[in-house]
Structure 1
Amino acid sequence: MQSGAARKATPVPRPQLFLFLSTEMLPTRRRPLPWHLLLLRRSKTTSAQHVAARHRDPTFEKFMDSYKHYLKALPIVDLIISSPDHTLPLSFLSTSLSQRLHLNRGPLHFIRAFPHLFSISSDKPFIVTLTPAAQSVLSSESEASSRESEAATCRLHRLLAMSLSHRLPLRAVFRVWRELGLPDDFEHSVIHQNPSLFSLSDNPNEPNTHIVELVDTGSKNFTPAIESWRRSLQKDSSFEFNLRFPPGMRLTKDYRARIKAWQLVPYTGPYEPCTTRGSGKNGRRMMEKRAVGIMHEFISLTVEKMVEVEKISHFKKWFGIELNVRDLFLDHPGIFYLSTKGYRHTVFLREAYEKGRLIEPNPIYDARRRLLDLMLLRRRGIGSLTNNH
């Protein structure tokens, strides 16, 4: 018999808390599961493990390292613009808003970190304003939004056309108005100004909320964005998607075979009446591919080809999607990329990007990139800027 001191203790794995798990403690894994094994073991994998095991794309991750600060700055910019004198007391940010924006080192440090975007008074009480450069960029975005009002109306029309009932909660549309490039007063300038297209009514299921719906549901047959890529191929590709896997992602022979078979699965397009039933293996595969088609089209409608997963999930019931949309994005890494930077899950349309930028930019996107570029300058050139003034 070995003594207790000589007996070697069995190591106990340290528990690790995963984001969004409140009751489950999971052991750490030295290496994440490869994607092809993860898909084979899907039923035994939690959503948090699925997120943790995804293959990272360094280009998108680097972009989100900068973009997360842009997302924190946007609410502050909106508050300054909406104030009568275009100023904001710093004390206003020192409340719960600072915590909600995750300004971990405090609002004063955040404001001073981006002097090309924000100006702050030298004397107390501190007052925050926008720099002339930032005001110029925001004016150009507003002008671009006004010029693109017809395109914005079309995007809202398409969004409603994807709904099974051609109706959507107005509050859900409000969550993505910026992503869709809608003007901030779209309820008036887009919905009320186009009574032949849209109508607004009380939501019978939720007090004090409204439903926006299409007036003429058969007025236009839309073509999904993926069709332009399919037409460019010199073969029959009626149900294929443009796949661009992350660099370094290992694709096994079995995984390639599964992808090839999945590409051939027929499905109902996002603007077609849904007649597919989810019963049986083939029915479930067709419904899953229909969900991929709807999510692809939704993100294609956004001006930056990206959207927060939390925002897009508000539409899935209206689109007839019963799947977890976050898992859907993770299951198709050749079509979508999911980033978890900045205390949020953001999904990108992979085919729309190259080297961290849109392949086909638009005026609203260009203006937002210029605002991001101002933030990327940090404190560079501040000395010369001060001397010029």
Structure 2
Amino acid sequence: MAIQFIKKITFNHPQSLLSFRLKTTSSQYVASRFRDATFEKFMDHYKNLLKVISIQDLILANPKNNPPSVSVDFINRLSQKLHLNRGATAFLRKYPRIFEIYYDPTLSKPYCKLTPTAMQISIEEAAAIQNTHPLVIDRLTRLLSMSKSKTLPLRAIFKVWRELGLPDDFEDSVLAQNPHLFHILDAHEPNTHLIKLVGTTPGHENFTAAVENWRIMECCKDECSVDRTEMRYSFRHGFPPCMKLKKNLRAKVKEWQKLPYTGPYEEFTNMKKRSKTAVMEIEKRAVAIVHEFLSLTVEKTVEVEKISHFRTWFGIDLNVRDLFLDHPGMFYLSTKGKRHTVFLREAYERGCLVDPNPVYVVRRKLLDLVILGRRGLRSGDHKLSSSESEEDDDLLEMENDQGDIL
């Protein structure tokens, strides 16, 4: 077998050897992507935030306990699922501003509860979602409008309820309270339901995509130097300064920007032609859909696996992850935290949203507590230490940050 393989490489035309070497697997394609130090540093903290939120949800799911709490043993049993590499206790002690471990003498076991600060943040987030109730309805309506049949599976919505800023009880507070907009239908599969859009709110019969609003704003600028006809089908691109763009790549992006396509809210019929232009138009429509999907999320980010649940319903006949990798000027894909997370590049600047919303502002407070960790706290009594100790901690973290980026 080995001799036949060597003969195949030796006697074949050199071009076949080149094609053999150029074949890459999906994992190699992801590994070869350009890494943005700003997003990667942000993900160092964000991946821990997701773990914190998972434990927080477990605690808040026990309202009968006073205060809401969960046993440390129970969290330990979920350590592998929650990716707590060093166990639950070690992880909880990393964030004393968020979690408090105490011993329950009646049950003879340690329990975990939220600190008053973390509990207050949770209350503020629920209030922010409640205050933005019209936006919640608008996001859900837009999401259903992008579907070919104006229908989406309920389980797919459950996957992204937090990303869309939906309340915990959105089935009762949003769907059931708006029967003129949403109907819940039984699907062909058992224990599966669909959400169908049956109406629209007054004045919102025709939706405008986020990219179209950006084009209008760009064209209205006095200093706009781009030909307005070229802006008709363009998307905003923002490559990092350290990313070197080759001449042929710039030419391809410019050609792609001029290519017409069907918008995310427009009726789309599958093209029978499989020409190069037709394939590119199908791809550009898919990019428009995932761009709008990310624009609808609270933090302009989502796991690739979650958005893949909508691929068939949106009529995307392409690999979603490849779309993000093929357009690095619009999206950034991170693989930290044992998950693939995509960011809408234009929405972020230095690890923060350019245009923050009320729900994001509250969630950022919890992220700030994650970033702080144990900084400024003594290991013994959990009290704030002196300013000199804080400065030492800041200096140590800065040195670690530089090491991570390098």
- Shorter-chain-normalised TM-score: which range? 0.7 to 0.9
Match for residue 315 of structure 1 among 301, 305, 310: 310
1:239 aligns with 2:239: no
Match for residue 92 of structure 1 among 47, 54, 74: 74
| Structure 1 vs Structure 2 CA RMSD | 2.0
1:119 aligns with 2:100: yes
TM-fit CA distance, 1:102: 1.0
Alpha-carbon distance in 2 for matches of 1:222, 1:104: 45
Structure 1 gaps of 5+ residues are 1-39
TM-fit CA distance, 1:248: 1.3
1:192 aligns with 2:190: no
TM-fit CA distance, 1:374: 1.0
Alpha-carbon distance in 2 for matches of 1:60, 1:279: 37
Match for residue 341 of structure 2 among 346, 366, 379: 346
Structure 1 window deviating more from structure 2 (298-307 vs 74-83): it is 74-83
TM-fit CA distance, 1:246: 2.6
Counterpart of 1:48 in structure 2: which amino acid? Answer: S
Counterpart of 1:230 in structure 2: which amino acid? Answer: R
Q: TM-score, normalised by structure 1?
A: 0.86
TM-fit CA distance, 1:56: 0.5
TM-fit CA distance, 1:75: 1.4
Alpha-carbon distance in 1 for matches of 2:304, 2:150: 22
1:58 aligns with 2:76: no
Q: SS where residue 201 of structure 1 aligns?
A: strand
Alignment of 1:154-169 (within 5 A): 154-169=138-153
In the alignment of these two chains, the number of paired residues is 347
Aligned to 1:23: none
TM-fit CA distance, 1:256: 0.7
Q: SS where residue 80 of structure 2 aligns?
A: helix
Match for residue 359 of structure 2 among 345, 348, 364: 364
Structure 2 gaps of 5+ residues are 1-18, 220-227, 386-406
TM-fit CA distance, 1:50: 1.2
TM-fit CA distance, 1:375: 1.5
Alignment of 1:27-46 (within 5 A): 44-46=23-25
Q: Residue by residue, what CA displacement relative to the aligned partner does 1:65-122 show, whole Å, maximum 9, x if unpaired? A: 0011111111110111110210110010121x11011111010000001000000015
Alpha-carbon distance in 1 for matches of 2:21, 2:95: 43
1:222 aligns with 2:207: yes
Match for residue 294 of structure 2 among 299, 302, 306: 299
Aligned to 1:73: 52
Aligned to 1:286: 281
| Contact 1:299-1:306 at 8 Å conserved across structures | yes
1:42/1:297 Cα in 2 relative to 1: closer, same or farther (>3 Å)? Answer: farther
Q: Residue by residue, what CA displacement relative to the aligned partner does 1:144-182 show, whole Å, maximum 9, x if unpaired? A: 000011100110000000000000000000000000000
Identity %: 55
Aligned to 1:181: 165
Q: Residue by residue, what CA displacement relative to the aligned partner does 1:225-252 show, whole Å, maximum 9, x if unpaired? A: 0012111233221110000113311111
Alpha-carbon distance in 2 for matches of 1:233, 1:76: 43
Match for residue 88 of structure 2 among 81, 88, 107: 107
| Contact 1:246-1:333 at 8 Å conserved across structures | no
Alpha-carbon distance in 2 for matches of 1:325, 1:368: 27
| Contact 1:56-1:246 at 8 Å conserved across structures | no
Q: SS where residue 93 of structure 1 aligns?
A: helix
TM-fit CA distance, 1:125: 1.3
| Contact 2:59-2:114 at 8 Å conserved across structures | yes
Alpha-carbon distance in 1 for matches of 2:218, 2:55: 46
Alpha-carbon distance in 1 for matches of 2:133, 2:284: 32
Q: SS where residue 185 of structure 2 aligns?
A: strand
Alpha-carbon distance in 1 for matches of 2:294, 2:322: 16
Q: TM-score, normalised by structure 2?
A: 0.82
| Contact 2:94-2:374 at 8 Å conserved across structures | yes
TM-fit CA distance, 1:43: 8.5
Counterpart of 2:241 in structure 1: which amino acid? Answer: P
Q: Give every structure 1 segment of 4 or more consecutive aligned residues whose post-TM-superposition deviation is greater than 2 Å.
A: 40-46, 216-219, 380-388
Alignment of 1:138-157 (within 5 A): 138-157=122-141
